[in-house]
Chains A and B, each alone.
Chain A
Amino acid sequence: MTRASRLIWLSCGLLLAANARSGESSPHQLLDRMNEAVRQLDYEGRFVVQVGDRMDAIYIVHRVDGGAEKERVVSLTGKPREVIRSDEAVACLTSGRARTLNVGRGANGRSFSPLSGVTGEQLDRYYRMQLLPPGRVAGRDAYQLLIEPRDDLRFGYRLFLDQASYLPLRSVMFDEAQKTASQMMFVELRVDQQITPIERDISAMQVARATPSDDIPEERLKPPAWEFADLPPGFQLNVHRRRMLGENAGELEHFIFSDGLATVSVYVQPTGDDGVGLPPSSRLGAAGAVSRVLADHEVIVVGEVPARTLNWFAQQIRAASN
């Protein structure tokens, strides 16, 4: 074998090895594994969250019990706030507020994943994914994954995924100008070992109860009263639900759209004293909100997407023709 042919064979071998390696941990596979990990693993840790100029520290414990997720998320900085997720409801508590916010859960306490509703090809159409050199976060080795949008209708992400568990150790969401819109980063994480039992705080779990009065029985469900003339490319309707508002205040319709990674909610409710009265456009970190009045109804669009995308939904909604 000549030197040249040896070099060719060596090159081919290296190329095959590289392909095999990238196949073992392709961006899509990493996303899928992360998607499973956040919902199916037991984990406990502390992380920091940056939104704009503000930074908060947060404690989380997440357990899966009989397939149902239970979770506590507690602010360790600023005003005491806490989110408790039992298998039937999610409760948000904050100091100084008389009532807890309580939202019933469906799907037997399991989280829905918008990522499972799209194919890899669909994701590739709207995002460019790339593995970057590995990093280290919270003392753990991490895959680094860059997800860049191919248009200006969605944000990008830089993720550091735990090589052992695939949990997101650090997530940076960046906007159209590639500026950080928000980010979180674990500083301490335990997975599947010595996790603090959530049930220890019995009173906390008791506040996370479903409030059946909010739910509209299935037999009363009817087709949406609103429709969208056109949707932003890549977004599809994942959820449509209705909720009773206050007495004689009518119903709220809720549409949830996603492209697999970004999620947008559109709420439509009668205008009146029970409205929210947001300004036409507002933003807190990565989350934005757009509001308008349409045919005596208040339309509110929220989501972790650019304002242009929120406005698209707000402008394209109309009364259903059926």
Chain B
Amino acid sequence: MHPIIGKSKLSPNVTRLVVEAPRIAQIRQAGQFVIVRAAEGAERLPLTIADADAGAGTITLIIQAVGKSTEDLVALEPGEAIRDVVGPLGQATDLLEHGRAVCVGGGVGTAVMLPLVQGLSRNGVRVTSIIGGRSREWVILEEELSRYGEVITCTDDGSYGRPGFVTQALADVITDGPIDVVYAVGPVPMMRAVAEMTRPSAIPTVVSLNPIMIDGTGMCGGCRVSVGGKTLYACVDGPEFNAHEVDFGLLSDRLSPYRDFEKAALEKRHCQLGPQIAEVSAAATAPVGAAR
């Protein structure tokens, strides 16, 4: 069992859980993920390790509640525990050693970005973070990211920071001067747009993918993605890949087979719980991106 040590809400449907997992906290590297199972009978959910404190023996998980399983998970309170946490899984990020990096985060993808920004900053890389949300309340981790470098915050409705999409801000940063690498994590359309933007100037671009998976060790083959015409497994070969080689159409498609099932499960959960979760329910209709 993995007790929950801390919990806070970052946006209407994004929750931060600090969870006891000493072994993983000690050895995890930026870019790696865990698979959690909230309780007996629950689904196995892959989640990026957003942060870790080896001394305290805790890891931080940032969860977008978009379905029954994620809602069950964020319904856990400090003092309760997550039944299973396994990891760290996946390859660690190949972090730039020096130079200039731009990290683009959309929605809960910003959480995946945080350890990258931390690692890059530790390497002495100059990092610009570009993060976005629909409106001010959907912007997450701005303060945390600002500790490691410049942050450009965008909102679709202009209610905060720079009006417009993160890709528009990226376009401006690209024209400002040379960039060694771009990391992009967020909804599939956002990652695809970033890839298209950096392709003409051949700026190395890395995306972190989170397709549907079960075991996280290469056993199920459910997380197969097409990269450079080759079928690879996000769980063991990734989760990070060269954005210019990823088949985003296939990725998007393979995220969707259980949509009807998920919708039904969510409705059933809400019927059982009653009206108090109406707020989360409204938020759950937000576009699903890096977290399924």
Judge: A and B partners, yes or no.
no
Q: B interface vs A, CB < 8 Å?
A: none
Chain A residues at the B interface, C-beta cutoff of 8 Å:
none
